[in-house]
């Protein structure tokens, strides 16, 4: 049995679908089991459910899904006999990183909890997610101009299913214990280039209009605490005019190259259409 936390998120859902298609026994964790809409045969439950780790040997740990309760989840998993944790961490954790960054602090803390748990572990450290482009969807539905900071900020966006594909192999194949996998998409793209790419998939000419950082701080990622948004904006500013990290990890582990942002935009065309 494999327990997947964050099972209705972008990566978690893709992972559950992959594991179910491979014939694995999956227990998916969701805040809304009744509305999860996961594949037939997948057991869906809540994080606080008694017996969450019954018969389970492996855990996919999503930091955002477990929040401040990650330590308790790991304790319960270990006591129930879970042997291997694959954790969705963050690419912000690397040599020379700003260890005061709130995203670094959060993920590094949970990584240490996993290391200290006594279970085998694998850390997935993706950089920019292609799904971050959803932040622009409301503006794209309203018109052909997208307003935001740092038009020249560069990243290598990774498809959520490529992260899930690596997670699947880490859960099912030997040799990933005690390993950190850094994950990126295959190409560098600026914010402006991402917008233009989405526009081509929609058959429209979209432009990125740069706005002051102060305006973005007030409106960007409204679901996130403002101190974290400020830290993210500082990180975005540092990527302007730079070349992002690009790894071949997805291809090495899955046997196929990571998908380009254009492929992601094509798959998600309906999310941006009027």
The answer to whether the beta carbons of residues 208 and 151 sit under 8 Å apart is: yes
The average pLDDT across 146-172 equals 96
Identify the band that residue 213 occupies on the pLDDT scale cut at 50, 70 and 90.
confident
Asked whether residue 148 falls in the same domain as residue 100, the answer is: no
| Residue 218 in this model has a pLDDT that exceeds 80 | no
Asked whether residue 134 falls in the same domain as residue 118, the answer is: no
Residue 92's domain spans which residues?
Answer: 1-126
| 252 found inside a domain | no
Closest CA to 97 of 110, 111, 108: 108
Asked whether residue 17 falls in the same domain as residue 90, the answer is: yes
DSSP state of 46: -
| pLDDT one-digit tens code per residue, 12-59 | 999 999 999 999 999 999 988 888 889 999 999 998 888 899 999 999
Q: Which residues of 185-195 are buried (b: 16+ CB within 10 A; e: fewer)?
A: bbebbbbbbbb
Q: Is 77 helix (H, G, I), strand (E, B) or coil?
A: helix
User: So what's the pLDDT on residue 113?
Assistant: 93
CA separation for the pair 176, 173 (Å, rounded): 7
| 226 found inside a domain | yes
| pLDDT one-digit tens code per residue, 56-104 | 999 999 987 777 788 899 999 999 999 999 999 999 898 777 777 788 8
Q: Is 193 helix (H, G, I), strand (E, B) or coil?
A: helix
- Continuous segment of H or E residues that includes residue 84: strand 84-88
Identify the band that residue 226 occupies on the pLDDT scale cut at 50, 70 and 90.
confident
**Residue predicted with more confidence, 212 or 147:** 147
Asked whether residue 149 falls in the same domain as residue 236, the answer is: yes
Asked whether residue 109 falls in the same domain as residue 155, the answer is: no
Asked whether residue 207 falls in the same domain as residue 74, the answer is: no
Asked whether residue 74 falls in the same domain as residue 140, the answer is: no
What CATH number is given to the structural domain containing 272? 3.40.50.720
Rounded to the nearest integer, the mean pLDDT of the chain is 91
Asked whether residue 106 falls in the same domain as residue 214, the answer is: no
| 54 found inside a domain | yes
Asked whether residue 148 falls in the same domain as residue 69, the answer is: no
| pLDDT one-digit tens code per residue, 235-253 | 888 888 889 999 999 999 9
Domain count, the chain: 2
| Residue 209 in this model has a pLDDT that exceeds 80 | yes
| 51 found inside a domain | yes
Of 57-61, 129-133, 144-148, 229-233, the poorest mean pLDDT is in: 229-233
């Amino acid at each position: 049995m494999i327990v997947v936390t964050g099972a209705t998120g972008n990566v978690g859902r893709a992972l559950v679908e992959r594991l179910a298609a491979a014939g694995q026994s999956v227990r998916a964790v969701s805040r809304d089991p009744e509305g999860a809409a996961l594949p037939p045969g997948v057991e869906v439950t809540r994080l606080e459910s008694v017996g969450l780790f019954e018969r389970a040997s492996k855990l996919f740990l999503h930091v955002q899904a477990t929040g401040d309760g990650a330590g308790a989840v790991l304790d319960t998993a270990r006591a129930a006999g879970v042997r291997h944790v694959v954790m969705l961490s963050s690419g912000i954790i690397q040599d020379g990183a700003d260890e005061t960054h709130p995203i670094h602090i959060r993920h590094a803390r949970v990584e240490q909890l996993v290391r200290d748990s006594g279970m085998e572990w694998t850390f997935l450290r993706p950089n920019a997610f292609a799904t971050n482009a959803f932040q622009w969807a409301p503006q794209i539905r309203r018109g052909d101009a997208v307003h935001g900071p740092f038009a020249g900020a560069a990243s290598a966006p990774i498809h959520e299913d490529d992260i899930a594909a690596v997670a699947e192999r880490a859960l099912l194949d030997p040799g990933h214990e005690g390993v950190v996998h850094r994950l990126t998409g295959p190409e560098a793209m600026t914010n402006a280039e991402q917008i233009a790419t989405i526009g081509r998939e929609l058959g429209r000419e979209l432009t990125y209009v740069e706005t002051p950082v102060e305006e973005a701080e007030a409106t960007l990622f409204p679901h996130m605490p403002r101190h974290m948004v400020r830290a993210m904006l500082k990180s975005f500013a540092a990527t302007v005019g730079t070349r992002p990290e690009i790894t071949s990890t997805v291809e090495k582990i899955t046997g196929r190259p990571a998908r380009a942002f254009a492929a992601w935009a094509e798959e998600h065309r309906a999310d941006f259409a009027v």
